[in-house]
Amino acid sequence: MRLDIGGWFESVIDWMLVNFAWFFDGAAWLVNQIVGGVEYVLIGLHPFLLIAVLAAAAAALTRSLGLTLFSAVAFLLIVSMGLWVESMSTLAVVLVSVLFSLAIGIPLGIWAALNSSVSAVVRPILDLMQAMPVFVYLIPAVFFFGVGRVPGIAATIVFSIPPAVRLTELGIRKLDAELLEAAMAFGAKKSLILKDVQLPLAFSSIMAGVNQVIMLALSMVVVAGLVGAGGLGGVVVQGVAQLDTARGFEGGLAVVILAVYLDRVTSGARSLGDVLRNRRIRKEQRAAAGTPAVAAVS
């Protein structure tokens, strides 16, 4: 006996297409506007100016001279390969996808951490989302949003949400039970415990999730080139279609540069919380050192 699961899924998609066309059209329009805006800024700025900004961001977040120099040189290489516009278009798509993924994934992760029933429901869905071959998302996405970058972004969001949810949930759940008890023993409300204890201590884990989301989004963007998302994905797909080794390699190299840059910078941001905290503490300690120390009792 053959169960026609694929057929059922298709009829669900058809039904959604008929009944929610207004929603998908609206969403597509909105996403297009946002990506267009980001892209307009990234491409509109003079490449050298933007490269300086990107290198400065690397310097601020990682405090590594090597990485700062690498980003400047690598982005100049992209310019010299003539792939600057495509790269910035891809970066715009990645940034917007990541923004949506985090806006959905982090709150969902918090909810799952605080409520075990939610966690039990969410986990298998995340497994499905992560294990499903990425191309499969593209098919209904094209039906919903037509050809172009919006289906690419939709597929990218679905594909890259899981680590945001998982690492947020993990970061909150792995908190030392005694710390939670201590916060409760002083009569703190759940909302204060979340804001004052759970989230600050989960920060590093959440940032690891952000890093993963960005990397997954970038890997998906190339696949999205198949449905006409343009950008570097388009360049690579074109290279494959025309068996143009040189073009394909250059497009691939530009993706690698973006990947390394985004990975290093977001890993640097992972310890940003510590850096800011240490700076605040040093300031307090310096201020305290200015006043005469209170002699220790006993």
Partner 1 sequence: MNASHLQALTTDHREEAMNPEVPFIQVEHLTKVFHPAKSRPLRLLPKKAANQGFVAVDDVSFQVQQGQIFVIMGLSGSGKSTIIRMLNRLIDVSDGSITVDGKDVRALAPAGLRAYRNQTINMVFQHFGLFPHKSLVHNVAFGLKVRGVDRETREAKAAEALALVGLGDRIHAMPDQLSGGMKQRVGLARALATDAEILLMDEPFSALDPLIRKDMQELLIKLQRNFKKTIVFVTHDLNEAMYLGDRIMVMKQGKSIQCGTAMDLLEAPADPYIEEFVAEVDRSKVVTAGMIVRPLDPSGAPPGDPDAGAVRVSDATVLNELLPIFAAGTERVEVVDQQGASVGHVTAEEVFTALSPKGYSNAS
d(CA 146, CA 262): 29
187 scored as a contact of partner 1 (CB under 8 A) = yes
279 scored as a contact of partner 1 (CB under 8 A) = no
Within the chain, what is the greatest distance between any pair of CA atoms?
85
The full DSSP string for 2-63 is ---HHHHHHHHHHHHHHHSHHHHHHHHHHHHHHHHHHHHHHHHS-HHHHHHHHHHHHHHHH-
Q: What is the DSSP letter of 115?
A: -
291 scored as a contact of partner 1 (CB under 8 A) = no
Out of 188, 253, 260, 269, point to the residue binding partner 1 (CB under 8 A): 188
Show the site string, 133-152: x = touches partner 1 by CB under 8 A, - = not: --------------------
C-beta of 167: minimal distance to partner 1 in Å?
Answer: 18
C-beta of 198: minimal distance to partner 1 in Å?
Answer: 11
- Is residue 42 within 8 A of residue 50, CB to CB? The reply is yes
Residue number, 63 or 283, with CB nearest to partner 1: 283
At residue 153's C-alpha, the angle toward residues 108 and 18, to 5°, is 90
Residue number, 30 or 179, with CB nearest to partner 1: 179
Out of 7, 184, 195, 256, point to the residue binding partner 1 (CB under 8 A): 184
d(CA 120, CA 39): 39
Out of 5, 49, 241, 293, point to the residue binding partner 1 (CB under 8 A): 293
State which of positions 196-235 bind partner 1 (CB under 8 A).
Answer: 196-197, 200-201
Radius of gyration of the chain measured on its C-alpha atoms:
23
178 scored as a contact of partner 1 (CB under 8 A) = yes
Out of 107, 179, 195, 242, point to the residue binding partner 1 (CB under 8 A): 179
114: number of Cβ within 10 Å? 16
Would you tell me which residues interact with partner 1 (CB under 8 A)? 178-179, 181-189, 192, 196-197, 200-201, 277, 281, 284-285, 288, 293-298
